[in-house]
Structure 1
């Protein structure tokens, strides 16, 4: 087990993951579940955001209370499936900036191909949460991490819903400085590089495409 791997086994998250796995869950419900999972998972991903005490006045008296301080947050989905997790996180972090990294998988080599990148100008000063529902081979996440680090980002958290052991090993062995959050780790990939038993193609199920 990697010390920077966080497998979240909260009953609500596990229940919603089972509904995602079900092939009979339609796109509307699938999208809603992904959003709900992202918000619940976000509580854990943001657990170590720094706090500082400030002075305020309640209706009763003056007091000191805590607010988030220090580094601000950027949410960076890997297009296109990662978009499905953004709104859930923005419910928690409405002032976060949102970047985008566009990658698609070459179906013959299974390697990621970059086609788009747009990041906040001050991204290197932020805690960056990368959203990608499925961590299969790890290729897309590795490419995103490399891209972010080339822009000077030092604090990176990867937020997935479902992972394969192969992808977990690839990412955390290459980048032991990042944190990886997931709800479950499936052991196998099929001949097409899909997680088994998995939940199918997350992007297709979110957006109702084939």
Structure 2
């Protein structure tokens, strides 16, 4: 594992083929730096968080199934292209996951979005689901599960378990995440080896202030 100021992306193969990291570049590293800087103002934080969210959502959408199609152009030519398969939806883990909802709507304007609320017991710190609202036919849909910060993996484990209880296939879930620790990644990929995970970074220290800073409750 790298030092706290270094990304831990070097051993990505250790986490299996379903964990994917955004192709690193200077723009993404700058966004990550701004979001980690304690001197970043709330307005700047939200602006740059939305930029990183959009990049993660766009790449998450690339993991959805596509089918071939043909359209006729204004000049009468036939164009062979692609279209999304039917039945996609988003599910945000409340509250920080709600920060990613607008980014998904910006890309898929009519997509339906469900919610899951997971709370930790004050004494045992055990995560439990206290609220869930989904489309009635979620078991037949591809699901983009949105949760920006994954430190331990406990919350995601509970959320995925509830989705599976509602008939969602593990291989139909794509976790859209901004920051993930190596420990959380190992727990989640071992628990749900068929689920796809898309994150911008593996790092031993997660910016756990994200939700409070984004919503102005810090």
Structure 1 length-normalised TM: 0.88
**Native 8 Å contact 2:149 2:207 kept in 1:** no
Q: SS at the partner of 1:74? A: strand
**Native 8 Å contact 2:181 2:202 kept in 1:** yes
TM-aligned CA deviation for residue 169 of structure 1: 0.7
Correspondence 1:158 to 2:175: yes
Q: Which residue of 2 aligns with 1:57?
A: 73
Q: Which residue of 2 aligns with 1:21?
A: 36
**Residues paired across the two proteins, number:** 200
Q: After the TM superposition, which parts of structure 1 deviate over 4 Å for at least 4 consecutive aligned residues?
A: none
Q: 1:108 to 1:97 in 2, by over 3 A?
A: same
Q: Specify every segment of 5 or more residues in structure 1 that has no aligned partner in the other structure, as ranges.
A: 188-195
Matches within 5 A, 1:130-209: 130-154=145-169, 155-187=172-204, 196=205, 198-209=206-217
Matches within 5 A, 1:26-105: 26-48=41-63, 49-58=65-74, 60-105=75-120
Structure having the larger proportion of residues in strand = 1
* Offset from partner CA, 1:164-206 (integer Å, 9 cap, x none): 111101100010000111111122xxxxxxxx2x323221111
Correspondence 1:128 to 2:143: yes
Q: SS at the partner of 2:130? A: strand
Q: Which residue of 2 aligns with 1:4?
A: 18
TM-aligned CA deviation for residue 65 of structure 1: 3.5
* Offset from partner CA, 1:31-53 (integer Å, 9 cap, x none): 22222212111222111431321
Q: 1:10 to 1:186 in 2, by over 3 A?
A: closer
Q: 1:204 to 1:186 in 2, by over 3 A?
A: same
TM-aligned CA deviation for residue 67 of structure 1: 4.0
CA distance in 2, matches of 1:141, 1:110: 14
Q: CA RMSD in A?
A: 1.6
CA distance in 2, matches of 1:164, 1:34: 18
TM-aligned CA deviation for residue 62 of structure 1: 2.9
Q: 1:127 to 1:47 in 2, by over 3 A?
A: same
**Native 8 Å contact 2:149 2:208 kept in 1:** no
Structure 2 length-normalised TM: 0.85
